[in-house]
Amino acid sequence: MPTSSTSLDLAGRALLITGASSGLGAHLSRAAATRGAAVALAARRTDRMRDLVDAIADQGGKAVAVAMDVADEASITAGFDAAEAAIGPITSVLANAGLNIPGPALDLTAADYDSIMSVNLRGVFLTAREGARRMITNGSKDKGDGRIVLVGSVGSHRVLPGLMAYSTSKAGVLMMGKSLAREWANRGINVNVVMPGWIKTELNSEWLESPAGQRLIDSFPRKRVMAPEDLEAVTFYLLSDACRAITGGGFELDDGQSI
């Protein structure tokens, strides 16, 4: 199991992470707090994040849970308001919330397709836009301290069978990140996209251990899945002060799964 051995410093950063109630969002929230960030954990239900907030506090970190539904523009605004009231002006955003409804394209309903796009594409845009607006208001143009990272997927650039809508949305996230980076480059905001491969979490562990999941793993060059820790170094670098001259990038963090 990989360890968190890098020493990227997030001290002084006020970081908002969407989709923070479980999986990668929960892991990265805890890890960011250990690196000095004040973290706003954003998800639809704050009750699912109480234990995580307490755990971060017990380790000497600072975190707050805020209600946010990324499919609802008003909810995003209210969530940022609550976050900034608790931890100060947001300087870093990790747009991590996502939705997947697997199945053949012929069986995918219009409602399910719209749901995926509402969260994975529209929600990512609304989250990034709200973060950028606040960064600009708080002087990012002069300070150059705005950091936004969008979470794509190996599906951003590779066909994932049975995941047409999900892959389409994640391909859009990659181009969105590049477009926003270009538009906000002179506003002191860096926008980048990380594209994780298959990572074992509590949400998919049972399937990955099934015969079908094992066949997928056997198709990878290294015949393994990743751990959440594998995302930390690059993701936190892109959210930190150190990432001064990197914007518009798409970073494949997939352990070679896409080659």
Query: What residues are annotated to the active site?
Result: 166
CA dist., res. 247 & res. 200, Å (int): 28
Q: Which of 152, 157, 161 is nearest to 219 (CA)?
A: 161
Whose tokens are 């070679």? That residue is 256
Q: Are 195 and 252 in contact (CB under 8 A)?
A: yes
Burial 151-163 (b: 16+ CB within 10 A, else e): bbbbbbbbebeeb
Which H or E run includes 238? helix 232-238
Inter-helix orientation angle 123-137/73-87, to 10°: 40
Report, in angstroms and rounded to the nearest whole number, the Rg of the chain calculated over CA atoms.
17
Question: In a 3-state reduction of DSSP, which class is residue 64?
Answer: strand
CB 174 within 8 A of CB 193: yes
